[in-house]
Amino acid sequence: MKNIFLLGLFIGLFSCEKVDASGEIEVIKLVESSTSWNGDKLPSYPEKEPKLSILKFTIPPNTKMQMHKHLAINAGVLVKGELMVISEYADTLFLKEGDPIVELYDTWHFGENLGSVPAEIIVFYAGEEGTPITILKNEEE
């Protein structure tokens, strides 16, 4: 039941709706996946109390984020600008405005805005109560 709820919430949050001339609602699936962007399989949903979070990040131009990893399954949509994501293994993903991403799970990576405008990304996290959704590299060492 929990999985069905999370799936429904995820689809609802990341569905794009618009009204056309006939008044019909259009739903566009941006992404559906059981793997992250580098092809790694996502883990099973947690057995503990679920904790859902939606965060909006604004990354200034020519800014590199700190190396980090996520302990929650997450996905997002880049709503403005461009973003490059690089894993600890040098896997690289380039995102442009409107692109969805299924983020890496428990793998070190960072994002970098090489563009001239701020990059804005909204990310949905399906975590669990008491577990951080993100760990910065220097926090674990």
| pLDDT tens readout for residues 35-93 | 999 999 999 887 889 999 999 999 999 999 999 999 999 999 999 999 999 999 999 99
CB contact burial 58-90 (16+ within 10 A = b; e otherwise): ebeeeeeeeebbbbbbbbbbbeebbbbbbbeee
Do residues 133 and 52 make contact, with C-beta atoms less than 8 angstroms apart? Answer: no
- Closest to 48 measured CA to CA, from 65, 71, 27: 71
The residue ranges of every structural domain in the chain are 31-140
State which fold the 31-140 domain adopts.
Jelly Rolls (2.60.120)
**What are the pLDDT digits (tens) for 18-34?**
545 678 988 889 999 99
Place of tokens 């674990």: 140
- Strand partners for 26: 18
Q: Smallest Cα–Cα separation from 97: which of 70, 115, 124, 74?
A: 115
